[in-house]
Amino acid sequence: MMKKEWPRHSILAIAIIVTWLKTYIIYKTSFSITIDNALQEFILFINPLSWLLFVYGISLFFKSDKAKNRYILAIAVISSIVLYANVAFYRFFSDFITLPVLFQKDNFGDLGASAAESVYWTDIAYFIDVIVISLAIKFIKIKSESTAFRKGQRKAYFILSTAVMFFNLGLAEAERPQLLTRSFDREMLVKNIGMYNYHIYDVYIQSKSQAQRALADGSQLVEINNYVSSNQSEPNPEMFGLTEGRNLIVVTLESLQSFTINNDMNGETITPFLNDLTEDEDTIYFPNFYHQTGLGKTSDSEFLLENSLYPLSGGAVFFTHSGNSYNSMAESLGKNGYHTSVQHANTKSFWNRDMMYESLNIDEFLDIDSYEIGEGEAVNWGMKDIPFMEQSVEHMAKLPEPFYTRLLTLTNHHPFYLDEEDKMIDEFDSNSGTLNRYFQTARYLDESVKVLFDELKQQGLYENSVIVMYGDHYGISENHNAAMEQYLGKEITPFETAQLQKVPFFIHIPGYGEGHVDEEIGGQVDIRPTIMHLMGVETKEDIQFGGDLFSEEHEEFVVFRDGRFITKDHVYAGNTCYDSETGEEIDQTACEPYIEPAFTELEYSESIINGDLLRFYDEDNGQMILSEKELDKLEKEQQENEAIEVVPQQ
């Protein structure tokens, strides 16, 4: 190789080709990107090329070969880091990195165990292009008489790069119309415009969202309020106020998915106490209940519960918009005489909770400093659930009544490690250590819930309380589908993946006596109106996207953060429509009436958050707070039959 002389720009050509092929191979081997036809496969194949032609092509402006080669190698290293970071992130989150995630640096230390679990020594292969380019620079001999690119040749080169980009975008738009208006579907963006272009587009989207607040005005909320008002459901009179005046205890069941309920693993019961609750005379259990979280995971579930708004598509609201105005469940209950609190045995700044809880008007945050963690009681995330429950009930005994308190559990969290003395069942026997350990920590979580009930009874708090429990998000990502197929005994299709987003939802009312399994289809966005109505608090003036699960008018329509959705008859996942009963693919037209409403709800919710629009709304009387200028603008835009009650800004 040293004897043969290569053309002047051989290193550039090698860098482009090797990085291009490596990226495509990683698409196919490290991400679960759904390909439905040959055109989608071709788009996936070519989509890295335009960016690589452009960014590597900048080396043509360097005069010395040494500077050019250093630049090419630096780009190879940076692109490999970007690609590999997404691979490691995807292994746990089944999603791609967004700009706001990179600024959640306060969480990185606490997330260390999960991150380490997603990194393997064989991952050096993701940097194969860096190795190949380095060897090429070292051993390839360039012809000494080779000439540099002339100005006209450089121009032609970048015209080619631009042409490839527009060719890619044209094919993508033909395959997926309005692609760039649906930024919540990151898999679709990566599949069509490529990983590198996706990150450039993400910077644009995030910059745009930051500008929205400064440019927002109250008139933007009018259309949203009309939509929400027209979709409000009347409370069930038999359930409204059923638990009024009782203490409200809401338990977040960390990473617990519904496939563990009333199920076993190698003959061992996974959740015996929760199983009993599904048949308890004082418990209403919802088996068709789905999480709707995004990248914010547990914090997103809290956001959904408190506000009945969808989380953001590109980051955690707790980080990006903690200074917004919200109309939280805690604030509403506080106005009705409740003392509100959250109990979580972790650092107060984790997921920026200390700042966000102030915006949610939560009276008290009992963080890790409020707990005494004895020997053997700590886990990577803070405190084990059983001693956490014991001490949390001790806190409750000191709270003024009535109180609303939320408990955030920790032990059943990825990577699901548990001390030997806490293991109550054996591991599973798949090729996934994550899934194998998951059953043990889920069993421990179940035991901690039993301890909670026992402690409440001992403290005399049980009878006058209502206990709500819900799973916050998935625990087993799509990266472990092969192991899940072994456990479930069936293929994990996009339909089954959607079904695996079910999380348990329990409402336990001591003395109720009419407990049952409620088959209503719902999601976390429905928790707030359901609980508020149980507590006797009206929500008809609130801007919320969920509905009361007990209402006869409740619409069985669950929208996931990535645009998938569930209805009574259909499941829309992987851009495919399925029959909800059989799981069989059906004609796309069956799902089409719901695609636009799903997109509309996500867009409206995102607008509320990015524009901080609730600052223009008085939730006490359901009136807009508009300036005179905004009133004039509104009067011009609205038709006579679209009048809305407004109040001028003082």
Rounded to whole angstroms, the Cα distance separating 311 from 445 reads 26
The stretch 231-251 carries a mean pLDDT of 96
Chain Cα centroid distance, residue 426 = 30
Q: 40: closest CA among 193, 161, 198?
A: 193
CB 580 within 8 A of CB 567: yes
- What pLDDT band is residue 115 in, cutting at 50, 70 and 90? low
Residue spans per domain, the chain = 5-212, 220-636
Give the model confidence (pLDDT) of 383-433 as tens digits.
999 999 999 999 999 999 999 999 999 999 998 999 999 999 999 999 999
Q: What is the pLDDT of residue 103?
A: 62
- What pLDDT band is residue 281 in, cutting at 50, 70 and 90? very high
Backbone angles phi, psi at 285, to 5 degrees: -115, 135
Residue 606, both tokens = 């995102």
CB 367 within 8 A of CB 410: no
Q: What is the pLDDT of residue 628?
A: 62
Q: What is the pLDDT of residue 183?
A: 56
Return the exposure string of 79-115: e unless at least 16 CB atoms fall within 10 Å of the residue's CB, then b. bbeebbebbbbbbbbbbbbbbbbeebeebeebeeebb
Q: What is the pLDDT of residue 650?
A: 45
User: What does the mean pLDDT of the chain come to?
Assistant: 90
CB 503 within 8 A of CB 289: yes
pTM of the complete model = 0.80
Residue 534, both tokens = 């149980």
Rounded to whole angstroms, the Cα distance separating 526 from 231 reads 13
Q: 302: closest CA among 289, 291, 315?
A: 291
Q: 520: closest CA among 291, 285, 308?
A: 285
- pLDDT over 70 at 641, yes or no: no
**Could you check whether the bond before residue 415 is cis, i.e. omega within 30 degrees of 0?**
yes
Q: 553: closest CA among 309, 234, 246?
A: 234
Would you call 378 helix, strand, or coil by DSSP? strand
- What pLDDT band is residue 184 in, cutting at 50, 70 and 90? low
Question: How much of the chain, in percent, has pLDDT values that exceed 70?
Answer: 90
- What pLDDT band is residue 511 in, cutting at 50, 70 and 90? very high
Residue 371, both tokens = 């707990």
Q: What is the pLDDT of residue 379?
A: 86
- What pLDDT band is residue 143 in, cutting at 50, 70 and 90? confident
Would you call 303 helix, strand, or coil by DSSP? helix
The stretch 31-37 carries a mean pLDDT of 85
The stretch 304-325 carries a mean pLDDT of 91
- What pLDDT band is residue 370 in, cutting at 50, 70 and 90? very high
The stretch 572-595 carries a mean pLDDT of 95
Single-letter amino acid, residue 61: F
Q: What is the pLDDT of residue 631?
A: 60
Higher pLDDT, 58 or 316: 58
Give the model confidence (pLDDT) of 543-561 as tens digits.
999 999 999 999 999 999 9
Q: 535: closest CA among 238, 237, 239?
A: 239
- Beta strands 516-517; 283-286: pairing state: parallel
Would you call 414 helix, strand, or coil by DSSP? coil
Q: What is the pLDDT of residue 106?
A: 54
CA dihedral 587, 590, 592, 597 (to 10 degrees): -150
Rounded to whole angstroms, the Cα distance separating 334 from 343 reads 17
Higher pLDDT, 624 or 600: 600
Rounded to whole angstroms, the Cα distance separating 556 from 544 reads 16
Would you call 511 helix, strand, or coil by DSSP? coil
Q: What is the pLDDT of residue 290?
A: 98
Q: 546: closest CA among 216, 243, 247, 301?
A: 301
Length in residues, the chain: 650
Query: Which pairs count as long-range contacts for 537-540, CB under 8 Å and 24+ apart, including other chains?
Result: 537/332, 537/333, 537/336, 538/235, 539/332, 540/232, 540/622
- pLDDT over 60 at 109, yes or no: no
Cross-strand partners of 248: 404, 466
- pLDDT over 60 at 112, yes or no: no
Lowest model confidence (mean pLDDT) among 298-302, 627-631, 637-641: 637-641
- pLDDT over 60 at 369, yes or no: yes
Rounded to whole angstroms, the Cα distance separating 506 from 522 reads 12
- pLDDT over 70 at 249, yes or no: yes
Backbone angles phi, psi at 401, to 5 degrees: -100, 150
Rounded to whole angstroms, the Cα distance separating 475 from 257 reads 7
Q: What is the pLDDT of residue 90?
A: 87
| Residues 6 or more apart in contact with residue 51 via CB below 8 angstroms | 165, 194, 196, 197, 200
Rounded CA Rg of the chain? 27
CB 412 within 8 A of CB 382: no
Q: What is the pLDDT of residue 149?
A: 64
- What pLDDT band is residue 635 in, cutting at 50, 70 and 90? low
Q: Taken in order 183, 595, 31, 130, is the CA torsion positive or negative?
A: negative
The stretch 259-281 carries a mean pLDDT of 98
Give the model confidence (pLDDT) of 157-172 as tens digits.
999 999 999 999 999 8
Residue ranges with strand state E in 504-634: 505-508, 516-517, 522-523, 557-559, 565-567, 570-573, 576-579, 617-618, 623-626
| Residues 6 or more apart in contact with residue 579 via CB below 8 angstroms | 569, 570, 571, 586
CB 341 within 8 A of CB 365: yes
Q: Quickly list H helices, 431-476.
A: 433-458
CB 295 within 8 A of CB 101: yes
Catalytic residues: 298
Rounded to whole angstroms, the Cα distance separating 650 from 606 reads 27
220-636: CATH number: 3.40.720.10
Q: What is the pLDDT of residue 618?
A: 87
